[in-house]
Amino acid sequence: MRIGELATRTGVSVRSLRYYEEQRLLTSTRSPSGQRHYTVEEVERVAFIQRLYAAGLSSSTILQLLPCVDSPSEENSDAALERMAQERDRLSAHIDDLLCTLDALDHLMAANRAHKATLRTARH
């Protein structure tokens, strides 16, 4: 399939797909006229890359993990496992920070509601 079809099937822009290829996250073959062609398997790969980006991983980190996805071996799986553990720790810390922020917002909202209730009671 050509790049436009891959973009349509994955919901990812053509520009992003070109970026993924530039970063060596995605590969294509080229037609004699230079058009990119992708296999059906690239649809799932793009979805996988998108999930990793959504989790906050950088393109360089994703690139380090892909060898384990493409052709797992003891050598690359140990390195990938270590990298995944680092990313998991980073994400866990970020989630903890987000939960603290959520708690702070809940307290502020409760205080605001209490204040508004006090104002309503004082007017009546």
Helix (H, G, I), strand (E, B) or coil at 47: helix
Could you state, in order of their start, the residue ranges of all structural domains in the chain? 1-54, 74-124
1-48 pLDDT per residue, tens: 999 999 999 999 999 999 999 999 999 999 999 999 999 999 999 999
Would you give the distance in Å from CA 49 to the centre of its chain?
7
The CATH number fitting domain 1-54, selected from 1.10.10.10, 1.10.1660.10, 2.60.40.10, 3.50.50.60: 1.10.1660.10
With b for 16 or more beta-carbon neighbours within 10 A and e for fewer, the 34-61 pattern comes to eebebeeebbebbeebeebbeeebebeb
- d(CA 4, CA 14) in angstroms, rounded, equals 6
62-83 pLDDT per residue, tens: 998 888 788 877 777 788 788 8
Q: CA neighbours within 13 Å on the CB side: how many for 5?
A: 9
